[in-house]
């Protein structure tokens, strides 16, 4: 995946001492849940990201040179029952999920330029593991390339054209052309 990263990001990634962090944004039907891999709140891109510390996890993300619809799993451990019921009520398939990698400046602890987008995909259904004392919510996200595997059920008909372009008459006479014999060149 080609990345648009700033020169400050590249410099920070090549430094002898780095302070990396992850930002995860997972959408549900009520909006986005934005978390980061540290503690406390973090402001970036005009949004507040909630620190998960050791409770948040992201699976390994695979990249290949092939056209491959990989995925990632976002997990949050130690989840209270109220958050579990919210997840069951608001998490939906097909909503955006993103993962960013960022660096802090080692002297000022400010975010270096813009974090790089590592993964962008669409959510699947959540999985909840409940041990009685604590719960773990996991949601998988598939790469947006998964849409290439979904069949498109559209037709070249007048009715189908009206779904996107009401009033358009471009396909109005298609049914009359189906049985028509057309002779070319003679």
Categorise residue 94: left if φ over 0, alpha if ψ from -120 to 50, beta otherwise.
left
Q: Say which range, 2-16, 19-33, 58-72, 97-111, has the weakest mean pLDDT.
A: 58-72
pLDDT tens digits along 85-109: 777 778 888 889 999 999 998 888 8
Label residue 146 by pLDDT band (50, 70, 90). Answer: low
| Contact predicate 76/52, CB 8 Å | yes
In the chain, which ranges are E strands? Answer: 19-28, 31-36, 41-44, 47-51, 56-58, 71-79, 96-104, 116-130, 135-143
Element spanning 87, H or E: helix 81-90
Q: Is 157 helix (H, G, I), strand (E, B) or coil?
A: coil
| Mean pLDDT rounded to a whole number for the chain | 83
Question: Which of 25, 50, 24 lies closest to 38, judged by CA?
Answer: 50
Pairing of strands 19-28, 41-44: unpaired
pLDDT of residue 100: 92
pLDDT of residue 1: 46
- % the chain with pLDDT above 70: 89
Q: Is 70 helix (H, G, I), strand (E, B) or coil?
A: coil
pLDDT of residue 143: 81
- Structure tokens that stand for 23 in this block: 């930002």
- Structure tokens that stand for 185 in this block: 């060149």
pLDDT of residue 21: 92
pLDDT tens digits along 20-29: 899 999 888 8
How far apart (Å, rounded) are the C-alpha atoms in residues 165 and 99? 36
Residue for token pair 């995909």: 121
Statement: residue 125 has pLDDT above 90: no
Label residue 56 by pLDDT band (50, 70, 90). Answer: confident
């Amino acid at each position: 995946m080609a990345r648009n990263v700033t020169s400050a990001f590249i410099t920070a990634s090549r430094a002898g001492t780095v302070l990396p962090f992850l930002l995860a944004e997972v959408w549900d039907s009520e909006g986005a849940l934005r978390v980061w891999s540290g503690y406390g709140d973090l402001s970036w891109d005009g949004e507040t990201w909630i620190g998960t510390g050791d409770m948040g996890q992201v699976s390994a993300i695979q990249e290949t040179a092939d056209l491959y619809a990989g995925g990632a799993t976002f997990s949050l451990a130690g989840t209270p029952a109220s958050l579990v019921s919210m997840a069951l009520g608001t998490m939906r398939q097909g909503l955006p999920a993103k993962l960013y990698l960022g660096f802090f400046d080692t002297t000022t602890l400010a975010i270096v330029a813009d974090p790089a987008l590592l993964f962008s995909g669409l959510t699947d259904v959540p999985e909840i593991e409940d041990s009685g004392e604590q719960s773990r919510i996991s949601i998988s996200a598939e790469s947006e390339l998964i849409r290439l595997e979904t069949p498109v059920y559209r037709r070249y008909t007048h009715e189908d054209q009206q779904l996107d372009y009401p009033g358009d008459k471009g396909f109005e006479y298609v049914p009359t052309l189906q049985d028509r014999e057309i002779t070319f060149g003679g």
